[in-house]
Amino acid sequence: MKTKASNTGIFIALTVLICWGVSLYFLLNWKFSWTNPLVYLMVLVQMHLYTGLFITAHDAMHGTVSSNKTINNFLGALAVFLYAGFFYNRLLAKHHNHHNHVHTKNDPDYAPYGFWRWYFSFMLNYVNVLQLIIMAVAFNVLKIWVDQTNLLLFWVLPSLLSTFQLFYFGTYIPHKGEHANEYHSSTLSKNHFLAFISCYFFGYHLEHHQKPGMPWWQLYTTK
């Protein structure tokens, strides 16, 4: 699966990483009030930035962050580790199995179940004990300096919500049921705003499977 990438991919990946980091820094240090509606908006913003971390790693898995393999894989590994302590190489193998065996028993992302059972099957297939230990250690180290309420609200909750965002818009909706195309995928009707805020254009999922070497920020051009 050959792909091409330019410096634009690096710039966009770094932009996502920096926005996530800067936002998280300020949120973890925010002396907020529960009556402030911005609190709840920022949880959603941070959720979307967490999703951006995973989408950045996903692009790296397809070689579209940088044509320099070392830079590409480093940014992908950094993004997915910051997302939730994932190991890039493990996800890389599983993701390419998804593309090569979509909608079959060898597809690690597919399960012939309803939403909740499929979601938990999906998560158990990717999350392991070592990752949970890493995140538990990180939480306990961070709470030495950061208020636990801020940690739970802006570090833990957005990342958990992000798993639902990624699963629902990037796996469940596109791959549920039967589809009359070789990629067993559906696609979102053309609506670039909705496609971006829902899951970085991954509602255009059939197009992603047709052109896996196209980065997320170019997927809208397929419509």
Q: 153-212: per-residue pLDDT in tens?
A: 999 999 999 999 999 999 999 999 888 899 999 999 999 999 999 999 999 999 999 999
26 CB burial (10 A radius; 0-12, 13-18, 19+): exposed
Asked if residue 152 belongs to a domain, the reply is yes
Angstrom distances, CA of residue 91 to CA of 23, 109, 126: 26, 11, 7
Query: Which domain covers residue 164, as residue numbers?
Result: 7-222
**CB contact at 8 A, 113 and 167:** no
Asked if residue 1 belongs to a domain, the reply is no
Asked if residue 139 belongs to a domain, the reply is yes
Q: What angle do CA 110, 111, 113 make, to 5 degrees?
A: 140
Alpha-carbon gap, residue 53 to 76, rounded angstroms: 9
pLDDT confidence of residue 6: 66
Asked if residue 34 belongs to a domain, the reply is yes
pLDDT confidence of residue 1: 41
Overall number of domains in the chain? 1
Asked if residue 171 belongs to a domain, the reply is yes
Contacts of 208 (CB under 8 A, 6+ apart): 185, 202, 214, 219
Asked if residue 2 belongs to a domain, the reply is no
